[in-house]
Structure 1
């Protein structure tokens, strides 16, 4: 895999395609900060500093499976994490999200939806174990009654009071919806079995 390294990973000053004069002629106002006295970032931009690195371009981590990466970047960074490999429907959604640039809302909305699909799948898989998820205790709903949850909301000028009406919808809503769907499917199966 012979890829041309991008400038953030190469030691030294980046190679430029155009001179200062060419850029100033093409772009009005270009080069206003060329004088180091006008640039607060000059100390960190020194390229002759000895960093102690023994490489010009870091050794690339081996990809055991194709990794998703933004279309704005030429390739994956030399070292990357694989703590949660892509799998199932959520993995396909994440792969699809990376067809869009990071500046597009579709990219982020699809990634958020993929997280919700992954969480829903984990909840469903928990029912196949001896200890399924318990939405009442694991969401902290019981602390509302045992840790002064309700009394802490009144007369305290809390910023989150407006969202409190929606919390039951977001916490219990998916479980009620899943229960309704399961009931409808079971009812339909029983009706089909009677015929």
Structure 2
């Protein structure tokens, strides 16, 4: 399996276009063609062993259908398997790969999937004996114990512009969730009285 269209082969590929065409089309293309301008040049000389014992690396088994960018014909030989897509966030991630990596929709959907994944984990933690603790996990206590408030004045910190939003972004979802629990408890209590 030594297809010249794949980037995962031991040998070098020949460019599809000539150097002159690429230089005319892409500003700065070929700036490193002179070996004197390339720090890695000695390792690229013929006869130097790379240590690769394969022409094409052995492929990692694909245990479930992996997300793959539409720009690539195949998955790389080795890929991460630590977090398989699951739940609503997994569905959003799979949908994001229907778009090209050059489209904003691809990246915005992946960001949204991360936020949904965080909330899925927060909700799962509520079903355990040790639910998430937003006070300690957000680091809000360190603002008072580690000179957090004092470090904000007289400094040119980048986070001062959005400092006022942080409590809303971090705290509002927890306040809304607590309000939902209280409302559900009251509705349940009213229902039992009837």
TM-score range, shorter chain: 0.7 to 0.9
Query: Are the aligned partners of 2:126 and 2:132 in contact in 1 as well (CA < 8 Å)?
Result: yes
Aligned partner of 1:165 in structure 2 is: 164
Aligned partner of 1:86 in structure 2 is: 85
- Shift, 1:157, TM fit: 3.2
- Shift, 1:152, TM fit: 1.9
- Shift, 1:134, TM fit: 1.0
> Closer, same or farther in 2 for the Cα pair 1:140/1:36, shift >3 Å?
closer
Aligned: 1:130 with 2:129: yes
TM normalised by structure 1 equals 0.80
1 CA distance for matches of 2:164 and 2:77? 46
> Closer, same or farther in 2 for the Cα pair 1:29/1:16, shift >3 Å?
closer
Aligned partner of 1:66 in structure 2 is: 65
Aligned partner of 1:29 in structure 2 is: 24
Please, which runs of 5 or more residues in structure 1 have no aligned partner? none
Please, which runs of 5 or more residues in structure 2 have no aligned partner? none
- Shift, 1:81, TM fit: 1.2
> What are the superposed Cα offsets for residues 102-129 of structure 1, whole Å, 9 maximum, x if unpaired?
1111111111111111110111111111
- Shift, 1:90, TM fit: 0.7
2 CA distance for matches of 1:111 and 1:130? 30
- Shift, 1:137, TM fit: 1.5
2 CA distance for matches of 1:178 and 1:44? 61
- Shift, 1:156, TM fit: 2.8
> What are the superposed Cα offsets for residues 19-54 of structure 1, whole Å, 9 maximum, x if unpaired?
x39x74xx7825974994398348279473421211
* Structure 1 counterpart SS, 2:143: helix
1 CA distance for matches of 2:32 and 2:118? 52
- Shift, 1:150, TM fit: 1.4
Number of residue pairs matched by the alignment = 190
Deviates more, 1:155-164 or 1:77-86: 155-164
Aligned partner of 1:43 in structure 2 is: 41
1 CA distance for matches of 2:12 and 2:146? 58
Aligned partner of 2:176 in structure 1 is: 177
> Closer, same or farther in 2 for the Cα pair 1:185/1:35, shift >3 Å?
closer
> Closer, same or farther in 2 for the Cα pair 1:103/1:61, shift >3 Å?
same
* Structure 2 counterpart SS, 1:114: helix
1 CA distance for matches of 2:134 and 2:62? 38
Aligned CA RMSD, in angstroms, stands at 3.2
Aligned partner of 2:143 in structure 1 is: 144
